[in-house]
Amino acid sequence: MPLLELKKVSKNFGGLKAVSQVSFSLEKGEILGIIGPNGAGKTTLFNTLTGFYKPDEGEIWFEGEKLIDLKPHQICKKGMVRTFQIVKPFLELTTLDNVMIAALNRTKHIHEATEKALRTIEMVGLKDKAQTLATGLTLPHRKRLELARALATEPKLLLLDEVMAGLTPTEVDELIRLLKEINRQGITILLIEHVMRGVMALSQRVIVLNYGEKIAEGVPEEVVKNRQVIDAYLGEEFRNA
Amino acid sequence: MRKLYLFLLLAFLILLVLPKVMSSYALGIFIMIFFYAYLGQSWNILTGYTGVISLGHSLYVGIGAYMTYLLTLTLGLPPWIGMWIGGICAGAVGLVIGFFGFRFGLKGVYFVLLTISFAEIGRLIVLHLKVFGSFQGLFITPHFSAVNFQFKDNVPYYYIALGYVVFSLIVVRLLERSKIGRYMVALREEEEAAESLGVDVFKYKMIAIFISAFMTSLAGAFYTNYLYYLHPSTMMSMAFSIEIILRPIIGGMGTVLGPVIGSFLITPLAEISRTYFAKAGYEGLHLVIYGFLLVAVVLFFPRGVISYMKKALSPLLSGEKSH
């Protein structure tokens, strides 16, 4: 039984087919990358999976259960959590409080949630920023905070929306290591990413979206050689690679 | 933090002995300080902490006041019991407003408009129904006794109002440290993020509006039994809703002490200027002063006076975690 399965999921905005008949499945423990040009429907797909949008067609199955009309918070409770491409920290709160609120997803005790948050913050390398207000964090730190909050909800499936964008190569490497570690702990990862180095290093499989449709799926090394993918997204430099 | 608590305890002790040395007029001003601090605090729960803007809180005061009074009149229930029933009614009305607002995702000015509409509907109903005294309002003949919540002089009212404030401080402080309070703040800060991290937006906004409406209406019982006169154009008006929100805005929204500090700054000014200007025949002039004051506060203390005080007093309160 796959952890997540999409069956011909579509989402339209008026006449625009933002996501069109997309099907794929994701096994437990896997890391699956989604790539594609801007406007290909990647974030829309995330919004549809996490209950921010209702799919117009198709079915979404999570852990053998069909998700119907669930709200984002219910989906989070089920164990699917996403980060936002444009990070959304609770600006007036400290890093610790940001993560603690996420940790309250699985407990009602502040004390317990705080401990959990401290561990998570340490894991993503924000320990010395625990008491800093989120307003005072740089973008790379805010991205880590976004990740820490998602992790603190104790997800089974982590949806990452461009967590590597805007990071330096060194920071990307650190993040790759961190995500591998998170995956090793048993968390399945679905990531939207433009930083190809990250996609190649992490993903066991890659899906390519273009104009809302899935145009390719496979292991990263094959997908990057696919003619359609090169034309639509990767561009000339990959043709000769 | 400990220093702050010590300071608050000291302030509380001073307030406890104050009636021994103050005139009845001065006590009256303190009563109004407490009354508005309490109302501001109740509003603060919904708007300051949860970020849901209400401009119709006078409605809940009205519900509390009339329910308490009518329960006494018809069933002979002492206000001390009736006020809680009034609170539940106000909370229920809050839930209805919340249902329409939150279920259909009204935000910002649209929700504000909803709260104003409901408050106006409430005011008009009261204004046109005989049981509520219609256009003349209701004059209440006091029967002085502790059970009736009616006293001859200001001292008992002073202590009751002080009790209200302490009660609200404790409620908000406990709330602030609880899961509910944390979730409320998360909703204020970034609703979508909160939602995706497991916060049930609808549920927690409903909880916030219920607590806020419930507490606000308890002040209605005080109003009834302190002023002995109920009229919708005073206590259920838009102007009264604005009175409620001014103090927490000036003091600092989303903080425990903000509404109290705001009330200590504004209420004496309001009371004294109102008396003075009314005597001189310029009724309503104090509202003009309010306007200017509000502009000044927004310009110079956009986060309320408390954030400025925190900075100024931080050496004194050192050891306190900045929040």
Rounded-to-integer distance, Cα B45 and Cα B244, Å: 12
> Are the beta carbons of A84 and B196 separated by less than 8 Å?
yes
Is A88 within 8 Å of B199 when comparing Cβ atoms?
A: no
Q: Which residue has tokens 């004194």?
A: B316
Which candidate from B189, B190, B198 shows the least CB-CB separation from A76? B198
Q: What is the pLDDT of residues A49-101, one digit of tens each?
A: 999 999 999 999 999 999 999 999 999 999 999 999 999 999 999 999 999 99
- State how far residue A237 is from chain B, nearest Cα, in angstroms: 37
The Cα of A136 is separated from the nearest Cα of chain B by a number of Å equal to 14
- How does B147-170 read in b/e, with b if 16+ C-beta sit within 10 Å? eebbbeebeebbbbbbebbeebbe
Q: Give residue for tokens 């998570």.
A: A120
CA B190 to chain centre: 25
A-chain residues near B200 (CB < 8 A): 71, 73
Q: Domain locations in chain A?
A: 4-79+155-239, 89-154
DSSP A81: E
Confirm or reject contact between A90 and chain B (CB < 8 A): yes
* CATH of range A4-79+155-239; options 3.10.620.30, 3.40.50.300, 3.30.565.10, 3.10.290.10: 3.40.50.300
Out of B177, B190, B195, the one facing A73 most closely (by C-beta) is B195
**In this predicted structure, which of A39-48, B114-123, B154-163, B294-303 has the lowest mean pLDDT?**
B294-303
Predicted confidence at residue A240, as pLDDT, reads 62
CB atoms within 10 A of CB B202: 16
Cβ contact, residue pair B321, A131, below 8 Å: yes
ipTM: 0.91
Q: Which of B46, B235, B257 is nearest to B123 (CA)?
A: B235
Residue B117 has pLDDT above 60, yes or no: yes
Q: In what order do the strands lie in the sheet with A31-35?
A: A80-82, A157-161, A188-192, A31-35, A205-210, A213-218
| Residue entry with tokens 């509907």 | B121
pLDDT reported for residue B321? 43
| A4 beta partners | A26, A62
Q: pLDDT tens for residues B1-20?
A: 788 889 999 999 999 999 99
Provide the 10 A C-beta neighbour count for residue A218: 15
Give every CB contact of residue B64 below 8 A, 6+ residues apart in sequence: B83, B86, B87, B90, B216, B217, B218, B219, B220, B221, B223
Phi, psi of A61 (to 5 degrees): -115, 135
**Segment among A227-236, B58-67, B240-249 with least mean pLDDT:** A227-236
Interchain contact A117–B (C-beta under 8 A): no
Residue A212: left (phi > 0), alpha (psi -120 to 50), or beta? Answer: left
Q: In the 8-state DSSP scheme, what is residue B136?
A: G
Topology (CATH) of B2-313? ABC transporter involved in vitamin B12 uptake, BtuC (1.10.3470)
Which of B196, B207, B320 best tests the A interface by mutation, with the highest count of A CBs <10 A? B196
3-class secondary structure, A160: strand
B193 touching chain A per CB within 8 A:
yes
Q: Is the pLDDT of residue B323 over 80?
A: no
pLDDT digits (tens, 9 = 90+) for B247-290: 999 999 999 999 999 999 989 988 888 788 878 878 778 778 87
Kindly state the percentage of chain B with pLDDT values over 70: 97
CB–CB of B182 and A88 under 8 A?
A: no
Exposed e or buried b per residue across A95-108, where buried means at least 16 C-beta atoms within 10 angstroms of its C-beta: bbbbbbbbbbbeee
